[in-house]
Amino acid sequence: MAAAAHTRNGSDARALDHREWVDHTRVFLQPIAAPSILGLFGFAGATFMVAAYLAGWYGGPNAPAIIFPFAATFGGLAQFLAGMWAYRARDGLATAMHGMWGAFWIAWGILQLLNATGTVHLPASGAFTPFGYWFLVLAVITGFGTVAALGENLGITSVLATLAVGSGLLAVHFLVGGLGWERAGGWVLLASSFLATYTAGAMMIAGTWGRTILPLGEYRKSANIPGGRPIRTLEYELGEPGVRHGQ
């Protein structure tokens, strides 16, 4: 009985201390919106345009020359900037994924520009070994990102998982050839772009409404139920008052 009373009194004291901290602490920050909203939308837009072409939905041999300005700016520049802002938010996963894929889309745009101006000549179809190694690197690193995302939520995990698989399929296509590999990679990347759109939309809506509308498969049940409010613990983290880890 005495032990229970002591525990209860200790809990009450901690609650009062927390309330005191909340009521009397003033913190001046330079907050930023969740960078992954922009990063995921940029990735989804560029990936949808290119993956739809790879899946055979539209276009001819000159389609990449029309797509690349959009892909290089929205999927490249905007996503790369999101990765750098994620660095400020101390989100290592988002920094790595947005930074890497943003850099890829910028490089892809530059390559298509060089091809369009005749500086380099890319094969219209079939195997292209250097490009195969591009996608091989992307698939491996994105695979590690998928494992890391399992500790965050199922939305990000599904985006990265399909992205890693799609990159792997395209790596095989560019290394050994075969239209089937290209088509399969395009379809899987389309799925990744759809999942990225949903995830970014869910994050954006939650930010404006202040509650979960579209669930992302977060492990905190109260934050993942539509209508539930996210839990934000007030704490001194790593010696920086009010600075929150992640997005």
11's tokens: 């809990």
Q: Please indicate, yes or no, if residue 22 is contained in any of the structural domains.
A: no
pLDDT of 72 reads 93
Which range is least confidently modeled, 52-56, 109-113, 202-206, 224-228? 224-228
If pLDDT is split at 50, 70 and 90, which confidence band does 62 have? confident
Report whether 51 contacts 22 (CB < 8 A). no
Which range is least confidently modeled, 112-121, 140-149, 186-195, 220-229? 220-229
Q: In the predicted model, what is the mean pLDDT of residues 64-72?
A: 88
Q: Please indicate, yes or no, if residue 5 is contained in any of the structural domains.
A: no
Q: Please indicate, yes or no, if residue 233 is contained in any of the structural domains.
A: no
Q: Over the chain, what HEC string results? A: CHHHHHHHHHHHHHHHHHHHHHHHCCCCCCCCCCHHHHHHHHHHHHHHHHHHHHCCCCCCCCHHHHHHHHHHHHHHHHHHHHHHHHHHCCCHHHHHHHHHHHHHHHHHHHHHHHHHCCCCCCCCCCCCHHHHHHHHHHHHHHHHHHHHHCCCEHHHHHHHHHHHHHHHHHHHHHHHCCHHHHHHHHHHHHHHHHHHHHHHHHHHHHHHHCCCCCCCCECCHHHHCCCCCCCCCCCEECCEECCCCCC
Report whether 124 contacts 73 (CB < 8 A). no
Residue-wise pLDDT tens digits, 197-220: 999 999 999 888 888 888 888 876
Which range is least confidently modeled, 9-13, 104-108, 132-136, 194-198? 9-13
Q: The whole model's pTM is what? A: 0.80
pLDDT of 36 reads 92
Domains identified in the chain, total number = 1
Q: Please indicate, yes or no, if residue 243 is contained in any of the structural domains.
A: no
Q: Please indicate, yes or no, if residue 52 is contained in any of the structural domains.
A: yes
Q: Please indicate, yes or no, if residue 17 is contained in any of the structural domains.
A: no
Q: Please indicate, yes or no, if residue 213 is contained in any of the structural domains.
A: yes
* Domain span including residue 139: 35-224
Residue-wise pLDDT tens digits, 91-103: 899 999 999 999 9
Which range is least confidently modeled, 54-63, 177-186, 190-199? 54-63
Q: Please indicate, yes or no, if residue 241 is contained in any of the structural domains.
A: no
